[in-house]
Structure 1
Amino acid sequence: MTILLILLIVTAMAATAYVLVRGVISMASGNGLNGEAQQNWMRKRVLFQGIAIALVVLIFIVAGGRG
């Protein structure tokens, strides 16, 4: 169970980094992103960060239950 949670958190962290880098590159290139598109990138990043934090909390709960 812990291995699965660790794999999930690594995936969530990678997704967060991907969305962050992709959003920054898109905004820096100036390829005509409007405010709506920029907000969508920000919402996706916040969503993936929230998932990663929830998984960390779940790992702590699982690890604390075994102690």
Structure 2
Amino acid sequence: MSSFFTGLTLLVMGLVVIVLIRGLVNMAKGGSGNTSNKLMQARVLLQAVAIALIMLTLWLTGGGRPS
């Protein structure tokens, strides 16, 4: 079960990187400010989800403590 959450966490962290890069490219091109704002909101939401998944995975696995 913890490997599922680990994989899901890695997926969400990858999505954070993709959204971040899209936002940087949009900013470098001088794109719409509305698009930049939406990308920033998506990044913040994905980061919150990633942190929650990391904490859940640590809780489920005992945080790396020996059993």
TM bracket, shorter-chain basis:
0.7 to 0.9
Structure 1 residue 63 corresponds to structure 2 residue 64:
no
Alignment partner, residue 25 of structure 2: 25
- Within 5 A, what are the aligned runs for 1:1-67? 1-31=1-31, 33-34=32-33, 36-64=34-62, 67=67
Question: 1: distance between equivalents of 2:25 and 2:51?
Answer: 25
Give the unaligned 5+ runs of structure 2.
Answer: none
Give the unaligned 5+ runs of structure 1.
Answer: none
Please list every run of at least 4 consecutive aligned residues from structure 1 whose deviation after the TM superposition is greater than 2 angstroms: none
How far 1:7 moved relative to its partner? 0.6
Q: TM-score, normalised by structure 1?
A: 0.87
Taking only the aligned residue pairs, the percentage that are identical comes to 34
Tell me the matched-pair count. Answer: 65
How far 1:64 moved relative to its partner? 1.6
Question: 2: distance between equivalents of 1:39 and 1:2?
Answer: 34
